[in-house]
Amino acid sequence: MQNDLTGPAPFQSITTVSLTAGKLAVARDKQEGDVTSSVQLLQDPPSLDPNPESPTIVLYITRHDESGKTQDVSIKHSATSFDDLCIKYADDVNQYLRPIVRDFKQEAAAFAPDPRVAWQVLAGDYTIEPATLEKVNRLVTKLDADSYEDRQTALAALREIGQPAAIILMRAERAAMSPEKQSGVDTFLAPFIQLTSDEVKSMQDSTTFLLDALTIDDVELRKLAWERLKSITGTNVEFDPRGEDSQRAAALNQLRASLKKT
């Protein structure tokens, strides 16, 4: 529990975090003068047989102004995962939940994007090696081979290449492919496609997402996120995607502070 009484009277902010039988609850109740507010995050424990369509996390936000000078707020957001919540309801998550997580110094741990999501957003700026492109194209020709074994071998080889193959096939012109090839490509790409095209476009220009992407372990993703962030913001702050953890953390704090002022 965190109890903050440092604001101007009457002021009180109480934050609690609990984990009971695998269920996470994070709550902050605050009183600032005539305004009372509450933010509550509830997340169910992991399931052995999860339903991908069933919400497992809920964010409640309420705000009431006794004086009537400002509008009351009552919000409920449900999602299938924390990442899903952050993508679908980014504005409310950033306004109400992120400050709580930041106070506990867990912002990077909580908000670093899923690498698969980050790759889907940033893939357009990634340069593919010609040899990799040639290899992937050669394997794709085998996805409609007569032999089932040959088709499965090609699919396994694509999976071994992994993300670069996914980027190539995300960009590929698939209209000319046979139905069998398209089916094989769909099977391969399924784990790599986490967002709709509209979500990708929105996140490509989101400074919040790009800042969070600078905390990902993958240095290639950090490089892509940094180049895109520079092009969008024109920031003069220095950041080295290959730098040591402590150097990157300090630069990231400076970046957040400078961009917050703009």
Indicate whether 6 and 99 sit together in one domain.
Answer: yes
Indicate whether 105 and 70 sit together in one domain.
Answer: yes
Indicate whether 178 and 227 sit together in one domain.
Answer: no
Q: From residue 216, how far is each of 93, 113, 114, 158, 160 by CA, in Å? A: 19, 7, 8, 24, 22
Instruction: State the residue range of the domain holding 135.
Output: 124-192
In a domain, 115, yes or no: no
- State the pTM of this model: 0.72
In a domain, 200, yes or no: no
> In the listed set 109, 141, 172, which residue is the last one of a domain according to the structure?
109
pLDDT at residue 104, rounded to an integer: 87
In a domain, 199, yes or no: no
Indicate whether 102 and 134 sit together in one domain.
Answer: no
Laid out side by side, the sheet with 2-4 consists of: 2-4, 11-20, 23-32, 35-43, 57-65, 73-79
Indicate whether 100 and 18 sit together in one domain.
Answer: yes
Indicate whether 90 and 9 sit together in one domain.
Answer: yes
Indicate whether 46 and 73 sit together in one domain.
Answer: yes
Do residues 67 and 58 touch, judged by C-beta distance below 8 A? no
**What's the structural domain count of the chain?**
3
pLDDT at residue 249, rounded to an integer: 85
Average pLDDT, the chain: 91
pLDDT at residue 39, rounded to an integer: 98
In a domain, 226, yes or no: yes
For the chain, residues with pLDDT lower than 70 are 1-10, 52, 261-262
pLDDT at residue 4, rounded to an integer: 65
